[in-house]
Amino acid sequence: MRMHPLALAASLLATLATAQAQTAATTAATAALPEVKVTDGADGATTEGSGQYTAREVSVGKLQQAPRETPQSISVVTRQQLDDRNLTKVEDAIKLSTGMTITRLDGAGNYNSFQSRGFDLGAIQLDGVPIPQGNYSTLDTAMYDRIEVLRGPAGLLQGASEPGGTVNLVRKRAPSKLAIGADAAVGSFGLRRGTVDVGGGLNAEGTIRARAVAVVEDRDSHIDTLFNNKRLGYGTLEWDIAPSTTVSVGAAQQRVRAAIDQGLPTYADGRLADLPRSSFAGLRANRQDMETTDVFAELEHRLAGGGVVRLSARDIDRTAFYRSARANSALAANGSFTMETVDGDFHVRTRNYDAFLATPVQVAGRTHKLLVGASHNEGKTWDGNYAYGQPRPFNLLRPNYDLAYPDIPLPGFTSLITRRENALYGQAQVSLADTVKLLAGGRLSWAEVVTRSTSTGAVTAAADPGRQFVPSLALMWDFHPQYTAYASYAETFVVQSQLTTAKQLIEPRTGKQVELGVKGEFLQKRLQAHAALFRIIDENRAIADPVVTNASIAGGKVRAQGFEAEVSGQPQPGWDLVAGYAYNDTRYLKAPVAQQGQVFSPITPRHSVNLFTRYAFTHPALRGFSVGGGMSWRSEFFAQSGALRINAPGYAVFNAQVGYQITDHLSVNLSVDNLLDKTYYEKVSGVSRQNFYGEPRRVTVALKARY
C-alpha cells in the first residue's frame, strides 16, 4: 500500500506532538536525575541555523573536512542561501553554482540534466549515495540542509561515472530540541506554496529524535495551459542506542502532477523563432506524472579516537508517465509545423549499500587520516513502454490547444536493464610535514550492465568490462595560515554498450583530470575563496567504425579545460555574498572529420558569472530590513542539429529582494527574478523541439515563521 506524501509527514508530526507532550509531563519527575549529554543529530557540516553562506565542513568525500582540505573545486549552497533566495528546486540551486549548466528538458523544469566542465553528471548523490539522474524529478529542497557541488572526477566516490563531477544532496537531520518552521508563499503565475517543518526529541533525554517536513505547491506558468502541482512528505527518526552509536531511518515521497512541454521548434535554417514567451507547442491534454519514494537507514558509530564507522542502505523507487503532444518538424514562416503525440511510462529502482571506516591514525608522531570502505549498487530500469500517435498539423500563431488527444495503447515494458557495481575503496591523507599533506586513494570496481527481454527473460545485451581501478592523488601545501595550494589527479570510467566488428564489447571510456588550485579562509573562516585551473581528457569514446557499418571502435577523444574562481561568505557582519566565474573550453581531439577540432559541449558557455549579495541593516532606523541583489551571465552557446548550428546569444539576468524581520520568529521576503524582464533563450537543442525561453519577470512574497 502506497502512502500519500502528506500522510507520511502528518503521521510523523502526530507522533512528534504526542512525544513532546509526554516529555513535558515527565520533565519535573526526572529533574533530579543526573544530566545526560546527547548529540544533536547534526554534524559539523550542518549549515541549518548557522545563518552563513559558507559551510564549515563538507561530506561529499566521506572524509568530513573543511572545503579548504578538499583538493578539488567545491561549492556549497547552504540552507541560508536556499531560504534567502527562495530556491525550492534543486536545479535552480545548482544552476547558480559556479561553472554549472542545467539543460532543461521540459517547460516546468521537472526533467533536467546537469553538466559540469562540459560533461553530464549522469548521477547525483543523496547523502553520499550515487543515484542515476535519468528522466525523473529531483526532490524539493525543503528536505535538504545543503547542496554540495564537486567539480571534477568523483570516481573514488561513485565508481563508474562521468568526469565532470557530482552533486551531493544532504538531508536535514532531527534536532534534539523542539523546532517548528512554517512558510507560506504566493507569486507570479499562480504560485501558491506552503511548507511545515517540525522536529525535536521524543524523550526527555533527547536520545530519540524525529523530524517531519511537508510541502504543498501549486503553480501555473508563463507558458499557455501549463501547470505544476507538487506534494512532498519527508520524515526521519534517529535513536542514540548508545552514547557513541546512532541509528537513523526515514523516508521521503514526492508526487508531481503537471502538464508537459517539450519546447519550441526553430525555422528550417536553424534560426530561433521570435515568438511570444507564452507559446506552447502542445495540447491542453498534455500530462506528466512523477513519483519518487526514498527509503533509507543508517548506523553510525563514533570511535573514541575521533573516527567513525558508518553503514548505510538506500532504496529509491521512481516512476514517470507522460502524455505529450510536441513539435516534430521545423517551424514554417506562417507558424505551422508537424505535431506528434507520444505516451511513455518509465520505472527505475535503485538500491545502494555502503560501509566505511574513517579514522585518524597516529604514525611517527603525526596525525594522518584513513578511509576504507565497500559498496554495492544495483539499479533496475524497466524500458520500452512507449508508443506514438499519428502526426498532425498545428499552428503556433493560431493555436488550438483543445484538439482531441488520440488514444495510444502502450505495449508494456519490453526490457529490463540491470546495472550492478561492487567496489572496494580507500584513501589515505598523509601528513608529510606540518604544512604538507599527501592524499592517495583509489576505487576497485566490478561493474556490469545486462539487458533482458521482459517476455522471455533472455539476455539481449550485456556489458561486463571486468575489474576497473580508478586512482586519485593530491598534494596540498598550507603555504600561509590562510591559504592552501593543491595539485590533484583523478580518474574515472564509463561502461559502454557498443560492439566491435567481432561483436565484442568495446573497452570503457576513461576520464583523467589534472587540477591546480588555491583555497583561502579569512575573517575567522567567515569568508572562503578558491581558484583553480583544470584539464580533463576523456578517451576511448565510442565512434563509428570507419570501415565496417554498424560497428564501433573506442577511438574518440575529447578535452575540457578551463578556470574557475569563487568567493563566498560574510565580508562583514550583516553582509553576505557569493560570487563565481568559470571559463570552459571543450574540444574534440579525435573524432570523425566533421567533428575534429570542434567544440565538444556546445551547450556549455565559454564564460559564466554568478553573483548574489544580501545586506541586513544594523542602523536603528532600518534594523530588521535587508536588501539583496544578484546577476547571472552566460556567454553565447549553441546546439548542433545535423549540419545546422542553432545559436543562442549570451544573456544577463538580474534579481532583487527586500526582506523584513517582523519579530524574532516571523519574517517576510519579497523577491523579483529576472528583474528587467529579459527575453532570452535559456536552452537550445534541435530544429524540431527542445528550445526554451527563460522565465519572464517573476515576483514572490514569502512569509516565514521559526520557533
SS (H, E, C) 428-440: EEEEEECCEEEEE
Q: Is residue 19 predicted with pLDDT exceeding 60?
A: no
Question: What was the pLDDT predicted at 373?
Answer: 96
150 strand-pairing partners = 74, 166
- Contact (CB, 8 A) for 564 and 534: yes
pLDDT band at 219 (very low <50, low <70, confident <90, very high): very high
Q: Rounded to whole angstroms, how far apart are CA atoms 77 and 69?
A: 18
Cell numbers 573514488: residue: 156
Of 536-545, 547-556, 589-598, the range with the lowest mean pLDDT is: 547-556
C-alpha cell at 66: 573543511
- Contact (CB, 8 A) for 373 and 426: yes
The residue count for the chain: 707
Q: Render pLDDT for 401-413 as a digit per residue (tens, 0 to 9).
A: 999 999 999 999 9
pLDDT band at 134 (very low <50, low <70, confident <90, very high): low
The identity of residue 409, as a single letter, is P
Question: What was the pLDDT predicted at 38?
Answer: 27
Q: Is residue 422 predicted with pLDDT exceeding 50?
A: yes
List of residues 6+ apart from 694 with CB closer than 8 A? 651, 653, 674, 678, 679, 680, 681, 682
pLDDT band at 21 (very low <50, low <70, confident <90, very high): very low
Q: Is residue 40 predicted with pLDDT exceeding 60?
A: no
Q: Render pLDDT for 286-338 as a digit per residue (tens, 0 to 9).
A: 999 999 999 999 999 999 989 999 999 999 999 999 999 999 999 999 999 99
Q: Is residue 200 predicted with pLDDT exceeding 90?
A: yes
- Contact (CB, 8 A) for 497 and 505: yes
Q: Render pLDDT for 43-67 as a digit per residue (tens, 0 to 9).
A: 678 999 999 999 999 988 787 889 9
Q: Rounded to whole angstroms, how far apart are CA atoms 75 and 151?
A: 8
Which spans in 328-397 are helix H?
Answer: none
Q: Render pLDDT for 369-409 as a digit per residue (tens, 0 to 9).
A: 999 999 999 999 999 999 999 999 999 999 999 999 999 99
Question: What was the pLDDT predicted at 1?
Answer: 45
Query: Comparing C-alpha atoms, which of 702, 687, 698, 676 is closest to residue 266?
Result: 687
Cell numbers 559541449: residue: 601
Question: What was the pLDDT predicted at 506?
Answer: 85
Residue 448: count other Cβ atoms within 10 Å of its Cβ.
15
Average pLDDT over residues 603-613: 98
Question: What was the pLDDT predicted at 417?
Answer: 94
C-alpha cell at 492: 574515472
Name the percent of the chain lying above pLDDT 90: 80
In words, the CATH class of domain 5-27+37-272+290-706 is mainly beta
pLDDT band at 14 (very low <50, low <70, confident <90, very high): low
pLDDT band at 158 (very low <50, low <70, confident <90, very high): confident
- Contact (CB, 8 A) for 449 and 497: yes
pLDDT band at 35 (very low <50, low <70, confident <90, very high): very low
Give domain limits for the chain: 5-27+37-272+290-706
Q: Rounded to whole angstroms, how far apart are CA atoms 594 and 598?
A: 8
Q: Render pLDDT for 347-367 as a digit per residue (tens, 0 to 9).
A: 999 999 999 999 999 999 999
Give the containing element (helix H, strand E) for 92: helix 90-95
- Contact (CB, 8 A) for 284 and 328: no
pLDDT, mean over the chain: 91
Average pLDDT over residues 547-559: 88
Question: What was the pLDDT predicted at 57?
Answer: 92
Q: Render pLDDT for 245-297 as a digit per residue (tens, 0 to 9).
A: 999 999 999 999 999 999 999 999 999 999 999 999 999 999 999 999 999 99
Residue 655, classed as helix, strand or coil, is strand
pTM of the model: 0.91
Question: What was the pLDDT predicted at 528?
Answer: 97
Q: Render pLDDT for 431-467 as a digit per residue (tens, 0 to 9).
A: 999 999 999 999 999 999 899 999 999 998 888 888 9
Query: Comparing C-alpha atoms, which of 481, 425, 363, 473 is closest to residue 68?
Result: 481
Q: Rounded to whole angstroms, how far apart are CA atoms 512 and 644?
A: 31
Q: Render pLDDT for 476-535 as a digit per residue (tens, 0 to 9).
A: 999 999 999 999 999 999 988 787 787 777 888 999 999 999 999 999 999 999 999 999
Residue 617: count other Cβ atoms within 10 Å of its Cβ.
13
Cell numbers 552533486: residue: 167
